[in-house]
Amino acid sequence: MKPTRQTRNDLLKVARRHFAERGYQGTSLADVAAELGVSKQALLHHFKSKPLLYRACLDLLNQDLLHLLFTAMDGTEDADLQLERCLVALTEYYLEDGSAPALVMGVLTDAPGQVVLSAAPPLPLQDFLEPLVALVQATPRWQGGGFAEALAVAIELLGAICLLSAARKNLSVRFGVSAVEQGRRLAVEHARDLVRVRLGG
Amino acid sequence: MKPTRQTRNDLLKVARRHFAERGYQGTSLADVAAELGVSKQALLHHFKSKPLLYRACLDLLNQDLLHLLFTAMDGTEDADLQLERCLVALTEYYLEDGSAPALVMGVLTDAPGQVVLSAAPPLPLQDFLEPLVALVQATPRWQGGGFAEALAVAIELLGAICLLSAARKNLSVRFGVSAVEQGRRLAVEHARDLVRVRLGG
DNA sequence: ATTAATACTTACCAATTGGTAAGTTTTATG
DNA sequence: CATAAAACTTACCAATTGGTAAGTATTAAT
């Protein structure tokens, strides 16, 4: 009758939320374990160390993003449309999984020599970032600009889409829950507009 | 002949960089002090606690951003132009002060009940955010949409501008220094384009 | 020169961190 | 049922964390 046997995925889900809400350094294994009703060492049993637990969360995220990207690219050869679909899908993903945007931003702003980059290749989210940049570069608007410009544009779009969702709770305190939630309801539409306008100019 | 007397501003400059590069939780007072060649307690003498040191850094940042905002608003009544100037100036500021973008994103993604929001009002950067949102709302393109939409757009623009600079080192490892630096050289131009295109549609 | 305040330092400390060691229960398998 | 592996737990631990206490230089004002 004991609850026993937490599946590895349950652990990951909670850990992921902690990493997203408090950052890597701010997340304590004891806290995560406590919320799960497990001992800290249960975590360390499944994932050998804190960095590896983090990495496991990021690999799951990477998987989601990759699936999302390839789905968006499916059924058309039009790079503009592919990119639009991708960023719309990404926005929807952020809306339903609140921890994703913070994780993405965390991975990107994590400096070398810190947590993420010290891990074994491939770098987290690299499988997602590379095709995304390639997608921007395949676009009529940006294919003349070279890799560096495509990278800059891809990161710009990513940042534009991420921040509102990542800052959700914070902004709710600042400007009220209703304003933020109302704004978030426009997120998909805004993302679509943004991409179009950024590819049209 | 002793070096003696570090000015308070030197301490802040180093602390600020640490907070930006490693986040609040990842920053240790001992590390900051060590880099300054001072004892940890020298820091605690000037700023009473770690949260207050952080707050002091943010207040300085807030000051810079406010100055930047009001300068951008000076000399014209055209909201579009004001906003464009503001975000261009912000981009330039990010280019010259590498720690600023990470701090801004850190402040925004810091959840309530964590570090920043537990401090005394006003919330950090609030003095900057409010007029910025108001500026978006004053714009012909967005003045019909209400506060929530203006907030969403303001955060979108902020995110679009921040991330490339905040992720600089990380992206350099991923895609090479030259690509990132080349992309950053386009940052101001991109920011200007982005604002125009986002106000034009 | 005396005084008072500021700017420190050394010495501690309790709490928390990630992690190890060793043992116990549970589960699946033959 | 036997057995081995997986899923834990309790008990520790060294290191680091932010912070306090108390004393010492240094500086500036009287």
Q: Which domain holds residue A192?
A: 58-200
Residue whose tokens read 């978030």:
A184
pLDDT of residue B3: 43
Query: Does residue A52 belong to any structural domain of this protein?
Result: no
- Maximum alpha-carbon separation in chain A: 64
Per-residue confidence band for B112, with pLDDT thresholds at 50, 70 and 90: confident
Query: Does residue A190 belong to any structural domain of this protein?
Result: yes
- Would you call A163 an interface residue with chain B, using a CB distance cutoff of 8 Å? yes
Query: Does residue A139 belong to any structural domain of this protein?
Result: yes
Nearest C-alpha of chain A: how many angstroms from B145? 10
Average pLDDT rounded to a whole number, residues B142-156: 97
CATH code, A74: 1.10.357
Query: Does residue A30 belong to any structural domain of this protein?
Result: no
DSSP output for B167-194 = THHHHHHHH-HHHHHHHHHTHHHHHHHH
Query: 3-state DSSP call for residue A52?
Result: helix
Share of chain A above pLDDT 90, in %: 88
Per-residue confidence band for B2, with pLDDT thresholds at 50, 70 and 90: very low
Report the distance separating Cα A18 and Cα A57, nearest Å. 11
Average pLDDT rounded to a whole number, residues B166-174: 96
Q: Average pLDDT of chain B?
A: 93
Total domain count for chain B? 1
- Is residue A138 over pLDDT 70? yes
Between A114 and B144, the more confident residue is B144
Does residue B83 approach strand C to less than 7 Å at its CB? Answer: no
Query: Does residue B91 belong to any structural domain of this protein?
Result: yes
| Beta carbons of A54 and A37 less than 8 angstroms apart | no
pLDDT of residue A167: 97
Average pLDDT rounded to a whole number, residues A40-59: 95
Give residue-wise pLDDT tens across range A155-193: 999 999 999 999 999 999 999 999 999 999 999 999 999
Cβ within 8 Å of residue B99, ≥6 positions away: B16, B17, B19, B20, B21
Report the distance separating Cα B48 and Cα B120, nearest Å. 15
The first and second tokens of residue B67, run together, are: 């100055």
Average pLDDT rounded to a whole number, residues A14-36: 96
pLDDT of residue A179: 98
- Phi and psi based region of residue A97 (left: phi greater than 0; alpha: psi -120 to 50; beta: remaining): beta
Contacts of A95 in chain B (CB under 8 A): none
Report the distance separating Cα B135 and Cα B111, nearest Å. 25
| H or E segment to which residue A3 belongs | none
Nearest C-alpha of chain A: how many angstroms from B194? 7
Which nucleotides of strand D are protein-proximal, with an atom < 7 A from a CB? 7-11, 16-22, 26-27
Query: Does residue B104 belong to any structural domain of this protein?
Result: yes
Chain A residues 43 to 62 with C-beta below 7 Å from nucleic strand D: 45-46
Query: Does residue B28 belong to any structural domain of this protein?
Result: no
- Is residue B1 over pLDDT 70? no
| H or E segment to which residue B43 belongs | helix B40-46
| Beta carbons of A19 and A106 less than 8 angstroms apart | yes
pTM of the predicted model, to two decimals?
0.94
Residues 108-147 of B with CB under 8 A from A: 108-112, 114, 117, 123, 126, 129, 133, 146-147
Query: Does residue B15 belong to any structural domain of this protein?
Result: no
Task: Report the distance from CA of residue A67 to the C1' of nucleotide C26 in Å, as an integer.
Answer: 36
Report the distance separating Cα A11 and Cα A34, nearest Å. 11
| Beta carbons of B102 and B61 less than 8 angstroms apart | no
Give residue-wise pLDDT tens across range B10-41: 999 999 999 999 999 999 999 999 999 999 99
